[in-house]
Chains A and B, each alone.
Chain A
Amino acid sequence: MSGVKKEEAMTGVNGSSKTAVMRGSAEGNGMDAEAHVTAERFSVFYHNREAVRQVSLAIPARGVTAIIGPSGCGKSTFLRAINRMNDLVPGCRVSGRLVFDKEDIYGPRIDVVALRRRVGMVFQKPNPFPKTVFDNVAYGPRLCGLTGRAQLEEIVERSLKSAALFDEVKDRLGQNAIGLSGGQQQRLCIARALAVDPEILLMDEPTSALDPRATSRIEDLIAELRGKYTIIIVTHNMQQAARVSDRTAFLYEGNLIEFGPTKQLFTKPRESQTEDYITGRFG
């Protein structure tokens, strides 16, 4: 299934070693103990075009990291690299290292299925399966081999509660999820991602298809989840990045221009390119 080749070594996509993506020890140098995902001169190419250019940054565990930048700056490509969604894109290859718990995500020992269980993703448009609300949330746990009804019910309830959706759908768990509103569908997708108990939640423009009220509910939810998960969100909406994130990375033409505390980046950016972008003078 892999279309992604790594420059130094081909990646063994279906490696059987599940330990490769198990949680790394907290020992080691301070930076490793803190960082959950670390990019080291990490690049992503689509054929000859370098969409992400030698990006180096360390995303700490828990909290919310926002990635901003104009269209085509590589922010979604970078996000999707973290759970290897770009594997499906023809002509896509990477160089450098992208480390998750001390293991290179593109290393030969990675089990992509296990990786994606630990790194959940929520997309721009809500994409529930045309199944019942219950089956949507139970989908991941079932795929992991869980069959006990009671256990599934417990996971579904807990996940829907974590996604702040349970009270709204508890009486219609057996109904088709397509009947939910857009905002509810998006929270269902978050519940579905949470059901397999991931450590990282990637969000690619999670509210761009939602109205302001539904957007505000998702933002509240992100604030609730930030203590438990490492959340990385790509957004075009700079005010949203400023509201929900602890740290912000600004990418421009594939390069990481600035990465720092959100409060500092939006009041006193270090780089003039960041200043120009966030104040609307270019981009």
Chain B
Amino acid sequence: MIRFQLELSRLRRLILEMGADVEDNVRDAMKALERHDENLAAIVERRENETDEREVDIEEECLKLLALYQPVAADLRYIVGVLKINEDLERVGDLSQHIAERAMAITRGGEAPGDVDLARMASKVTNMLARSLEAFVDLKPEMAREVRAGDAEVDAIHRQHISILLEAIKARPESADVLLNVMHISRHLERIADHATNIAEDLIYMAEGEIVRHK
């Protein structure tokens, strides 16, 4: 079974590399928005394509381990957890690319309204993502529980953004394009927080064997 343990270590390394890339992508997408940086947006897109490839590799690796070793107990929970985290990270990768695309559209179309604080929201969301991955690295269910608790706050910020932006669209219909793009970015960030929450929940399952989703 030493071989199996080595395979699990390899899987762990692969998913952590992917996690690090995805985290970078979210940060860079937000920087691209902040600085109207097209080069950075292009990097985000390239990295997102790599993430897609990584996702397929990791899924194949998980399926191979399930078929060859028929793991049980903690090993089974680990591989199933990695399969799910893999999917969440891939979605976060997609969302970071969507943010970068919207950011470039805003660059061409004008400024985001000052009363919508996307940077503050992004800082909370990236922190949640980083902590969910940290909880995974160190197998810390307590930290994962903190991440879960943070999701409601991000949801509230997003709802607040929607009402501000709806008012702004009514007041300045000529800026509707920009405002809708901003609304989409807020929505993408809110979805990233959801995926970070999923990762945290998967970690709790891996560590404790309890499915905490919807509880």
Chain A interfacial positions (CB closer than 8 Å to B):
238-239, 242, 266-269, 274-275, 278-281
Contacts and interface: CB of A to CB of B under 8 A. Distances in A.
What secondary structure prevails in chain A residues at the interface with B?
Answer: helix
A239 B71 CA distance: 9
B134 to A, nearest CB: 24
Given A280-B4, A281-B1, A267 B70 contact: no
Contact of A238 (B72, B74, B209): B72
Contacts of B76: 266-267
B1 A268 contact: no
B1 A266 contact: no
A239 B73 CA distance: 12
B74 A275 contact: yes
Contacts of B146: none
A278 B74 CA distance: 10
B12 interface: no
B75 interface: yes
Interface string B25-43: 0000000000000000000
B73 A278 contact: yes
Contacts of A267: 72-73, 76-77, 209
B145 to A, nearest CB: 18
Contacts of B74: 275, 279
A238 B77 CA distance: 17
A183 to B, nearest CB: 22
Contacts of A280: 1, 4
B11 to A, nearest CB: 15
A239 B70 contact: yes
Given A267-B209, A268-B209, A275 B73 contact: yes
A108 to B, nearest CB: 43
Contacts of A242: 72
A34 to B, nearest CB: 27
Interface in B72-89: 72-77
A239 B72 CA distance: 9
B77 A279 contact: no
Contacts of B209: 267-268
B73 A268 contact: yes
A279 B4 CA distance: 10
Contacts of A274: 73
Interface string B1-26: 10010000000000000000000000
A242 B73 CA distance: 11
